[in-house]
Chains A and B, each alone.
Chain A
Amino acid sequence: MAMAWKSICKQSDLVAGAGVAAMVNGEQVALFYVPESEHQVFAIGNWDPLGKANVLSRGLVAHLQDKWVVASPLYKQHFELTSGQCLEETVSVPHFQAKLENEQVYLLLP
């Protein structure tokens, strides 16, 4: 299926250094704005498969051994922001390509 960049929200909806939640095609997505990173914005699923709640957007953003991660606000497992991979357990969450353009946030979606 053809992928296309879709505008999700304004850059001003984001919180620098932290996450917000967005609804994308009926699924919850966690968007992170990390100004000092190369990517600037990251997007992964908002569902925490270990804590079993839609909370990853509310976790703390951390930089561990050269990886940008979010620590789940429930039980503190780390999920990598580029791949959605959990560092402690063999689970992962969906990840999306994201970009900032003209003060808009875009995700690459089918």
Chain B
Amino acid sequence: MTSTVSFLTTKPHLVVIGNGMVGHHFVEQLIEQSGHQVFDISVFGEESYLAYDRVHLSEYFTGKGAADLAMTDGRLYDEHGIRYFTNSLVTEIDRAEHRLVLQNGETVPYDKLILATGSYPFVPPIPGHQRDNAFVYRTLDDLDAIRECANKVTRGTVVGGGLLGLEAANALKNLGLETSVVEFAPRLMPVQLDDKGGSVLKGMIEGLGVKVYTDTATKEIVAGDDAFHRMNFADGTHLETDLILFSAGIRPQDALARQSGLDIGERGGISVNNHCLTSDDHIYAIGECALWENRIFGLVAPGYAMAKAAVGHLLGHAGVTFMGADMSTKLKLLGCDVGSVGDAHAQSQGCKVFVYQDEISQSYRKMVVSEDGKKLLGAVLVGDNSYYDTLLQYYLNAIDLPDQAQSLILPTMDGAPAALGVDALPATASICSCHNVSKQDIHDAVCNGALSVADVKGTTKAGTGCGGCAALLKKVVDNELLALGVEVSTDICEHFAYTRQDLYNLVKVEEIKSFDALLHKHGKGHGCEICKPAIGSILASVWNDYVLKKEHISLQDTNDRFLANMQKDGTYSIVPRIPGGEITPDRLIVLGQVAKEYGLYTKVTGGQRIDLFGATLPQLPEIWGKLIKAGFETGQAYGKSLRTVKSCVGSTWCRYGVNDSMTMAIDLENRYKGLRSPHKIKFAVSGCTRECAEAQSKDIGVIATEGGWNLYVCGNGGMKPRHGDLFATDLDDATLVKYIDRVLMFYTKTADRLQRTSVWMDGLEGGLDYLKSVVIDDKLGLCAELEARMQHVVDTFQCEWKTTLEDEDALQTFRQFVNHDGDDNNVVFVEERDQMRPATALEKQQLIAKVG
């Protein structure tokens, strides 16, 4: 990838070496502050890809492609006249001449230089470390090589039990290998955890089938007897394995700086000051290659802060400096929560410690407090990170601890940890450390009109980095909205002082079967176009009655009322169900014949069905009579219900398919076709990770893997696109259906009126993890009920059009006029591209003029 912007310019030339996350962030910041108008900018990257999200690198093995991880497709650079060169290794800095030498021999002049060269994985110099089938875990190319090898072997071993090592072990496990971890130190994650924490984590990880060897030094790697490698340990024992992955820490990539004679730290790293300026006034260093006060910062947030400081200095903005960074971190490793805050090892002078350990549910928590017990200095969490946000805020903002400080790590009886009210946070509290957004910034954004979490994310970027602050962000935004007096009333309308979720529960628990009964018991007045369809939908979700029953008919909104989609001229479109998009030639012919007979406009929909437009009210039952006779069912395109399950042909036909996506799509569509839900629901099933069915943009997305199915939930195309979240991997058919049953019913039970799954998910306190705990771990003890409810819906499915054709009363309501046989004379069609379409107002006038 190379841009085509010309070098001819009079502006000073700024060159960025390195296009990782930090190098890219630097460019973004520079553009945001109009630096591209001051400098002529070139970016050189050694890899063949532009910047990608290395923090989420492991997701490359669980369904994400290079494009998903990409942080830019080059458009941002092109639009701002920034040249970029991938596959371009800079081999020399000629500081005297102010020019760079590239590997291909070309030279490039510079006026200002930014080194964002990152780090490289440290490979311990164990004899045999250069053997084949030994890898590091840093780039997409590394991952491609690992995957290729893993496909052929059965056993994999990670050397290094730190944060990155465990991340890599997770990747090997996901690739289906029998996985071991070998750590030199006496415990896992020696930097972040204490002995106890490390041993609890070890127990948890071993419980997942990963073998852990701590306190183990590898003496040499030689050819194995029954595996590719044999690792001989210092204590005389050994381990046979096919694949070795070195993840024993990182080292700053400072080769260029060394070559050109910049100041380097004793143990590596390019020395920088608070402006990230190196010992050369024209050269800055940022990110993992930079050494600030003898420290390397191996996290992305400090790298971003350095990028900001360098941009500030380049553009002459005083006051933006790098002053170190907090290295607290929380993450999920192999499914285990691990958190570390501040002084995790209790090394501060005179500090005191609280410890809580639960060997039954395997969790461990430690708080390090100041000698007087007033301030939190550090913490270690293993097994449950729900305590992390509160502890971090106490730590970062030096808030006085409450009297019973230990309560912050003790389990509370109702299951939720005691949270710090967001009111207690000072304005300077950092809410999102990736993008350095403070509580004050959020307050300002809300005051300037950002009235939802999504809006605040858009204006401040909070929550768009690692996403760890999502729950806290929501609380702060809600709190700010309340403070502003923005009424966050949750009443559905003036007739019911309840949320949709309350109404759902009332209907279910009190076995209420009609709107009138609910209104009489819990509402007031006579209902409106908000509560009527919402309750109509709830009644349908819970009892699955025929929606045009006498007591339900007046509740139905525009499209449900006549079981078809009203178009702008008052005619309707008809969408029969075509499960999975699979249709026989005979049925296709029937659709053609019906469309021809009634002169309908015909179009293929995005959901792989066929939409027939222009039917009048009285034509609807006639047309459906013919469709049902030919074996079609209603497609419920009019309902807040399951629309389609889009699919590819999968392993049946496709050379690349790994599973039968076609059958799965049809089965899923037939299972959920009757479900009435808070909003429409779309599914897709892809037969391999090429993802032709675009499952990640659907409410429920299923992607075939070698090991079964990966399930994605709460994606959305439409107005606010959102990628689905990976919910579970390598599921068998039965588990997949079970999880979908539960997710959909939990959504139907708890979402707001007209809330798509994506918005529902964004609003769920605890987000994806919470949904997993409800659906997979049955945290609320609801799973059996959710499944039973879904089974009821499946068992009581009826084609609403079939029922309607058998119901004389309902058919009466499809008359155009109750006292007259004519048509609506305002419905006028003209021809375009050999089909009819509604005439425009102007065309109607002209037509009437001609007739008149």
On whether the beta carbons of B824 and A54 are closer than 8 Å, the reply is yes
| A63 and B819 form a contact (CB under 8 A) | no
Are A23 and B820 within 8 A (Cβ)? yes
The answer on a CB contact under 8 Å between A22 and B817 is yes
Q: Are B816 and A62 in contact (CB under 8 A)?
A: no
Q: Are A62 and B818 in contact (CB under 8 A)?
A: no
> Given the complex of chains A and B, what is the CA–CA distance between A51 and B561 in angstroms?
18
Contacts of B494 in A (CB 8 A): 64-65
Within 8 A of B (CB), among A38-52: 47, 51-52
A18 close to B554 (CB less than 8 A)? yes
Query: Looking across the interface, which residue of chain B has its beta carbon closest to that of A53?
Result: B570
Q: How far is the CA of A44 from the CA of B554 in the complex (A)?
A: 18
**Which A residues are in CB contact (< 8 Å) with B566?**
55, 58, 73-74
B554 and A28 contacting across the interface, CB-CB below 8 Å: no
**How far, in angstroms, from A34 to B525 measured CA to CA in the complex?**
13
Which one of A15, A31, A60 lies within 8 Å of B529 (CB-CB)?
Answer: A60
Q: Nearest Cβ in chain B — how far from A9, in angstroms?
A: 5
B residues less than 8 Å from A37 (CB atoms)? 526
Which one of B526, B569, B818, B822 lies within 8 Å of A63 (CB-CB)? B526
Q: Is the CB of A16 within 8 A of B554?
A: yes
Give Cα A68–Cα B528 distance, bound, in whole angstroms: 9
List chain B residues, Cβ under 8 A from A47: 826
Is A62's CB under 8 angstroms from B528's CB? yes
A86 CB within 8 Å of chain B: no
Task: Take A60-B532, A63-B526, A76-B529 as given contacts and tell me if A22 and B818 are in contact as well, using a CB distance cutoff of 8 Å.
Answer: yes
**Which residues of chain B have C-beta atoms less than 8 A from A31's C-beta?**
818
- Known contacts A16-B550, A53-B569, A65-B494, A58 near B819 by CB under 8 Å: no
Q: Is A8 an interface residue, CB under 8 A from the partner?
A: yes
Q: Cβ of B28: which chain A residues have Cβ within 8 Å of it?
A: none
- Tell whether A20 is near chain B: CB-to-CB under 8 Å: yes
List A residues 4-38 near B (Cβ within 8 Å).
8-9, 13-18, 20-23, 28, 31, 34, 36-37
* Cβ-defined contact, B818 with A13, below 8 A: yes
Scan B186-212; emit 1 where CB is below 8 A from any A CB, else 0: 000000000000000000000000000
- What's the nearest-Cβ distance from chain A to residue B716, in Å? 23
Bitwise, B542-559 to A at CB < 8 A (1) or not (0) is 000000001001111110
CB–CB A36/B526 < 8 A:
yes
* Residue contact A28 to B824, C-beta cutoff 8 Å: yes
Query: Cβ of B561 and Cβ of A52 under 8 Å apart?
Result: no
Bound Cα distance from A59 to B553, whole angstroms: 12
Cβ B819 vs Cβ A22 within 8 A? yes
Q: A17 CA to B556 CA in the complex, in Å?
A: 11
Known: A22-B817, A22-B818. A63 touches B554 (CB 8 A): no
CB atoms of A58 and B561 under 8 A apart: yes
Specify the chain A residue showing the minimal Cβ separation from B552: A17
Chain B residue nearest to A19 (CB atoms) is: B554
In whole Å, how far is B514's beta carbon from the nearest beta carbon of chain A? 11
Q: Are B554 and A17 in contact (CB under 8 A)?
A: yes
Highest count of chain B CB atoms <10 Å: which of A13, A36, A62, A65: A62
Asked whether B562 lies within 8 Å of A58 as measured between CB atoms, the reply is: yes
Choose from A8, A54, A68 the contact partner of B819 (Cβ within 8 Å): A8
CB pair B554–A60 under 8 Å, yes or no, is: yes
Q: Report B-chain residues with C-beta under 8 Å of the C-beta of A58.
A: 558, 561-562, 566, 570
Q: How far is the CB of A71 from chain B (nearest CB, A)?
A: 4
When distances are taken between beta carbons in the complex, the residues of chain B under 8 Å from A8 are: 818-819
B841 at the interface (CB under 8 A from A): yes
Of A15, A17, A54, A63, the residue contacting B528 (CB under 8 A) is: A63
B826 touches A53 (CB 8 A): yes
**Contact indicator A55/B820 (Cβ below 8 Å):** no
Q: In the bound complex, do residue A18 and residue B553 qualify as a contact, i.e. CB atoms below 8 Å apart? A: yes
Interface of chain B residues 809 through 848 with chain A (CB within 8 A): 812-813, 815-820, 822, 824, 826, 841
Which chain B residues (442-500) contact chain A, with CB distance < 8 Å? 494-495
Contact of A23 among B561, B812, B819 (CB under 8 A): B819
Docked CA distance A31–B557 (Å): 17
Does A98 sit at the interface, judged by CB under 8 A?
no
Known: A16-B550, A53-B826, A65-B494. A9 touches B570 (CB 8 A): no
The chain B residue sitting closest to A58, CB to CB, is B561
Judged by a CB distance under 8 angstroms, whether B568 is at the interface is yes
Which residue in chain B gives the minimum CB-CB distance to A60?
B529
How far apart are the CA atoms of A19 and B556 in the complex, in Å?
12
Q: Which 7 A-B pairs have the closest CB atoms?
A: A17-B554, A63-B526, A62-B528, A23-B820, A73-B558, A71-B529, A53-B570
Mark B residues whose CB is within 8 Å of A. Answer: 494-495, 525-529, 532-533, 550, 553-558, 561-562, 566, 568-570, 812-813, 815-820, 822, 824, 826, 841
- Could you write out 14 A-B pairs with CB less than 8 Å apart? A8-B818, A13-B812, A15-B554, A16-B554, A22-B818, A22-B820, A31-B818, A52-B568, A55-B570, A59-B529, A60-B528, A60-B554, A71-B528, A74-B566
